[in-house]
């Protein structure tokens, strides 16, 4: 049996993820390898076994020497001119030359790396810049792939938002500020009859064109006790199909999950966004939040039993009862 969270990707995004997975693996591999090197060097330094004789590329040293060379030459030339003119005699030539050499050596020593700065080489900085550029290129490609291919809502539904949905939306907005909407309406024709789907919560990332439909499933209607969102009822499957065909991601949570573990649900959403975009932007504030545990879906028969046992009362706030 399936379980929540239930996530459905449109084929367009599945293709995009597959085409860009190699690039993603390379970035992750470099980050892991760099981490291993840093840990090894730190341990060696603690033991006093880290000896750095030439911590930077030779071409970098040469470039630095060439940059400092004019200072030494100018000092030496000034002393030489003074000597030729007999202003100070021959002593200043020796002194100026020694000062120039000392400044030159001093600047070279400062330029050498120590265990504290071993991770700040030009090659590492270049790698970071390269990864950032790859990330930006991925986002640009994603925006081009989704351009004019994601269906927009026709308006906003008048259907009321439940208490648990409103509470969850407020938490979602903490992690996805300015990108959250509710009750977006999509007219649809089913067997010649006109209906409208409306989103419980929608997250729309205009910066890359990504749209996510967040649905909150309860096992039965609170007043009528009628079973809802059952896996042996094709209604939700048709609805999911409609959204993914129009290039929306669909994420379905159980009501119990969003009431009891709302921040873990947000972490699931952030992981989905990261999986598509390759960016950890929305995950950075959720690393300490536990991963969401699965919650089993239900059949009509199970939903009726849950209604009889008043299962929703065990997690819903008393104000909803």
C-alpha distances (whole Å) from 250 to each of 2, 137, 174 are 15, 25, 20
Residue 220: phi and psi, rounded to 5, are -160, 155
Q: Is pLDDT above 50 for 110?
A: no
Lowest mean pLDDT across 23-27, 93-97, 147-151, 202-206: 23-27
**3-class secondary structure, 17:** helix
Q: Which of 295, 171, 169 is nearest to 229 (CA)?
A: 295
**HEC profile of 74-89:** HHHHHHHHHHHCCCCC
Q: What is the pLDDT of residue 114?
A: 47
Are the CB atoms for 281 and 138 separated by under 8 Å? Answer: no
pLDDT band at 128 (very low <50, low <70, confident <90, very high): low
pLDDT band at 36 (very low <50, low <70, confident <90, very high): low
Q: Which of 190, 296, 198, 269 is nearest to 234 (CA)?
A: 190
Q: Is 231 exposed, middle or buried (0-12, 13-18, 19+ CB in 10 A)?
A: middle
Q: Is pLDDT above 80 for 51?
A: no
Query: Do β-strands 184-190 and 193-198 pair in parallel, antiparallel, or remain unpaired?
Result: antiparallel
Cα(104)–Cα(108) distance, rounded to whole angstroms? 6
Tell me the pTM: 0.70
SS percent in the chain: helix, strand, coil, step 5: 55, 15, 30
Boundaries of every domain in the chain: 3-24+152-314, 57-111
Q: What is the pLDDT of residue 54?
A: 39
Residue 187: phi and psi, rounded to 5, are -65, 140
Q: What is the pLDDT of residue 163?
A: 82
Rounded to the nearest 10 degrees, the angle between the axes of helix 58-84 and helix 91-111 is: 170
Q: Is pLDDT above 50 for 310?
A: yes
Residue 145 CA neighbour count, 13 Å, CB half: 22
Between 232 and 71, residue with greater pLDDT: 232
pLDDT band at 132 (very low <50, low <70, confident <90, very high): confident
Sole residue written with tokens 């300490």: 288
Q: What is the pLDDT of residue 145?
A: 97
Sole residue written with tokens 């900085």: 125
Instruction: Please state, rounded to an integer, the average pLDDT across all residues of the chain.
Output: 81
Q: Is pLDDT above 50 for 53?
A: no
Query: Do β-strands 180-182 and 201-205 pair in parallel, antiparallel, or remain unpaired?
Result: antiparallel
Residues 6+ apart with CB under 8 A from 128: none
């Amino acid at each position: 049996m399936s379980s929540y969270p239930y996530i459905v990707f449109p084929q367009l995004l599945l293709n995009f993820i597959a085409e860009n997975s190699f690039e993603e693996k390379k970035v992750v591999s470099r980050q892991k390898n760099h981490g291993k090197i840093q840990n090894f060097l730190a341990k060696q330094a603690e033991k006093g076994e880290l000896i750095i004789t030439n911590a930077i590329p030779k071409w970098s040293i040469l470039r630095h020497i060439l940059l400092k060379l004019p200072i030494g030459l100018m000092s030496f030339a000034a002393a030489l001119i003074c000597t030729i003119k007999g202003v100070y005699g021959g002593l200043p030539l020796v002194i100026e030359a020694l000062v120039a050499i000392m400044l030159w050596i001093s600047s070279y020593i400062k330029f050498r790396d120590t265990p504290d700065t071993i991770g700040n080489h030009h090659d590492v900085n270049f790698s970071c810049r390269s990864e950032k550029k790859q990330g930006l290129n991925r986002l640009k490609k994603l925006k081009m792939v989704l351009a004019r291919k994601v269906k927009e809502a026709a308006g906003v539904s008048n259907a009321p938002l439940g208490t648990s949905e409103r509470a969850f939306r407020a938490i979602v907005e903490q992690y996805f500020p300015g990108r959250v909407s509710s009750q977006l309406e999509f007219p649809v024709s089913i067997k010649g009859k006109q209906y409208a789907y409306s989103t419980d919560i929608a997250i729309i990332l205009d910066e890359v064109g990504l749209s996510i439909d967040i649905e909150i499933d309860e096992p039965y209607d609170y007043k009528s006790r009628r079973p809802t969102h059952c896996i042996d009822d094709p209604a939700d499957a048709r609805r999911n199909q409609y959204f993914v065909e129009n290039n929306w991601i669909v994420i379905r949570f159980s009501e119990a999950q969003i009431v009891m573990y709302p921040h873990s649900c947000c972490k699931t959403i952030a992981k989905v966004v990261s999986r598509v975009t390759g960016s950890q932007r929305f995950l950075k504030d959720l690393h300490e939040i536990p991963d969401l545990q699965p919650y089993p879906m239900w059949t009509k028969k199970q939903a009726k039993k849950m209604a009889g046992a008043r299962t929703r009362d065990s997690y819903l706030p008393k104000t909803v009862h």
